[in-house]
Structure 1
């Protein structure tokens, strides 16, 4: 099962790089979201995909008995999803503001602070 997820992470990362290399800001934002999802999936898979019980320690024991699920990657991914959603919301509002102010989302046309190049 892990090779399938490794291929999925590679596909998501490749699609994210493709979108981020385009010249449009909105595609860059969607590429950033795809890249964060690829990173989340890679972290989640790194915790091994084994079926197991919840990591609960019985009373009087020092360690869980038997095979248990790894809770750390799950907690990291959950935190990363929340942070990624906040970043996406901020970037989407910033993109909308850039579009209303500049009238374009093309990266080459958004160079307002640079001096005009005369040929």
Structure 2
């Protein structure tokens, strides 16, 4: 999947943290669907934010506080994506080779 830094920069500036988290979750789901269309990403707001990623018999969860989401949103274009993907990898999600620059951009050391 391809990602455009200029568009992302604009989105970071105009979106609030919750809407930006929803956008990032949709982006994560689109990437996962390139590998397997059965992936679903749900964003829930309880006491904290919780992303639930499901694929048939697999389930992954990423939890973040309001403060954490806000800080990640306000400090870099891909910091929130990086947090989600690194948590998924820690939980055993296998990253597949694919088309585009999205994952390589997100998973490289983020210095924005």
Q: Return the TM-score normalized by structure 1.
A: 0.29
- Mark the structure with the bigger radius of gyration: 1
Larger fraction in strand = 2
Larger fraction in helix = 1
* Higher normalized contact order (CA 8 Å, seq sep 6+, divided by chain length): 2
